[in-house]
Structure formats: C-alpha cells, structure tokens
A and B are shown apart, each in its own frame.
Chain A
C-alpha cells in the first residue's frame, strides 16, 4: 500500500512570496489533515477535510493560508504572502474515517524556510 505523498520536500522562499504544497493521501482515505510543526513544538492541526468538505479550519490563519481538496483526493495548501514565522514543517496525513481513534498516516512533510 502506497503511503501519503507530499511535494516538495524542501522549499526556501523570501518573505512576502507565495508557496504551495501538494499532498496525495492513501487511496480510499476519506479524511485528510494538514499540520504545521514549528521547531521545538508538536504538530498543530491547520485544517481537516472529510472528502472535499472542510471539517475543522479553526486554527488556519485565513488571511494568508488557504487549502483545497478538489474531488476529495489530492489537496493543496497555499501561503500568500509568507511571513518569517511560517518557517516550519508542513505535514499532511490521512485516515480512513473521521474518527479521532482512527490511525492517521503521515507523509514525510515539506520543510519550509522563509528568509
């Protein structure tokens, strides 16, 4: 079974530039998550999709971050414009169901550096 795929693995940009990350979840997984992990902290949920609908985006900075999951499969997370404090690892995860006792499977993450 193929795992969660993410690209790119690394990205370096200047502040005020835009950046986009892509995620392909495990086939058949209805729920998809984007997390932000800042150095020294635990991953923080940014947004959760159930199929192509948003379940929870309460911690997404909506003035600069956006995400979509077209057709309920792949997802894209965008930052526009980036700030220095957005430097972090962005993790995508998927699970079979929308149940917090369901195992979440993670991709390798995208390490973003904002200069």
Chain B
C-alpha cells in the first residue's frame, strides 16, 4: 500500500498571507499526482494533475510543483482569501499496473479575514 503523507495537518493564516503545504510519497514507481480542494458540504474540486518531474502548474493564485526524484509536491497559495478555506487533498498513483489513487489525509486551511 502506497504511503502518502501531507503536512501540516491544519493551519490558520491571515487574509493576504501566502502559504504552502507539502505532499510526500515514495519516489519509486511514481505515475501521477493529483491535488484537490474540498470545501465543506461541496464536491472535491480537481486543481491539478501532475506527471513529470519538475512540473509546475498554476491556476489563478494557486500553484503546484512536483519533484518525483525526492518524492514530494508543494502547493502554494498566494495572497490567501477567506474563500480559499478548505481541505486540500493530495492523491498519488504508483503505476505498476494499478489504476488506484491513494489519498493523503489532507491539509485543512482556514483563512482568517
């Protein structure tokens, strides 16, 4: 079973601050990494799918990087807003004949106005 770790578990930031969280995974047998944002009472929303070492993706104020050699991905939020408050989930697939995504426990972000 793949072990996907996310840190921190939760954090509180002031509106306007920038923040980042980490997703760690075994660097061997990597195929794809997904980031999702899950607001309370809503559907998890896909943010990024990343497959290549060195990949950088951006969507508005949110960006992500991927390092498959050392087994981590960073998610950055620039100038946090209250509407960014959500749980951010990372999910990884190792390939090797499996189509299964293994999710981390998530990072819960609270942005204080």
| Interface residue ranges, A against B (CB under 8 Å) | 3-4, 35, 40-45, 48, 55-56, 91, 98-109
Contact = CB atoms under 8 A, between A and B. Distances in A.
Nearest to A59: B100
Given A41-B105, A101-B31, A91 B44 contact: yes
Contacts of A98: 99
Interface centre among B43, B46, B103 (most CB of A within 10 A): B43
Interface size class of B (residues with CB under 8 A): 20 to 34
A48 B42 contact: no
Q: Looking at chain B's contact residues, is the secondary structure mostly helix, strand, loop, or mixed?
A: loop
A43 B89 contact: yes
| Main secondary structure on A side of the interface with B | loop
Given A91-B44, A105-B46, A108-B42, A100 B103 contact: no
A101 B43 contact: no
A42 B104 contact: yes
Contacts of B103: 35, 42-44
Contact of A100 (B4, B32, B41, B106): B32
Contact of A48 (B4, B34, B45, B99): B99
Interface string B29-51: 00110101000011111100101
B32 A101 contact: yes
Contacts of A104: 34, 46, 101
A109 B95 contact: no
12 contacts: A35-B103, A42-B91, A55-B99, A56-B98, A56-B100, A91-B44, A100-B32, A100-B101, A104-B101, A107-B43, A108-B42, A108-B43
